């Protein structure tokens, strides 16, 4: 068995009601838009690989992720497809998305290790840009001016 695997539409079918996947791939698509499931799978795989890359190596297969993250990836894809269909997520589902983000943070920090790649290559890590933050109304926080020159946020 491989340490790193590729998430497929079949994995989604095995994890959730096929109606979510099929609906997301067929309903309310724009002209020329391809299936949502393939795009969401690609997004989640990229997020996971980016987190793992912070630790130096990834698999040469750009579609592969560590086997131990399969369920996390599939569940996250399903939840994003549901959101894309306009289906409200319940508290447990929202909590699952928060756990996904936390797990990626732990992987990036090296606190959580994943399976070694089957065909490792050196990861090309790019430095991310910090997200701007804005004070909430009614809170006493200094006024921040976020723009392309100050990036104060």
Residue 148 CB neighbour total at 10 angstroms: 5
Both structure tokens of 73: 């990836």
Cβ proximity of 19 and 85 under 8 Å: no
What does pLDDT average to over the chain?
Answer: 84
Quick one: pLDDT at residue 55? 87
Q: Directed axis angle between helix 70-84 and helix 18-26, to 10°?
A: 50
Give per-residue pLDDT as tens, 89-121. 999 999 999 999 999 999 999 999 999 999 989
């Amino acid at each position: 068995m491989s340490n790193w695997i590729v998430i497929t539409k079949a994995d989604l079918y095995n994890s959730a009601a096929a109606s979510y996947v099929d609906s997301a791939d067929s309903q309310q698509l724009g002209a020329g838009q391809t299936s949502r499931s393939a795009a969401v799978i690609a997004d989640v795989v990229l997020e996971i690989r980016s987190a793992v890359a912070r630790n130096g190596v990834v698999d040469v297969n750009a579609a592969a992720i560590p086997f131990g993250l399969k369920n996390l990836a599939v569940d996250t894809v399903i939840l994003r497809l549901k959101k894309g269909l306009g289906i409200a997520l319940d508290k447990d589902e929202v909590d699952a998305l928060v756990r996904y983000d936390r797990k990626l943070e732990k992987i990036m920090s090296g606190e959580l290790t994943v399976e070694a790649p089957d065909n490792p290559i050196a990861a090309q890590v790019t430095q991310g840009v910090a997200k701007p933050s804005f004070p909430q109304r009614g809170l006493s926080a200094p006024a921040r001016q976020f723009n392309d020159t100050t990036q104060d946020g």
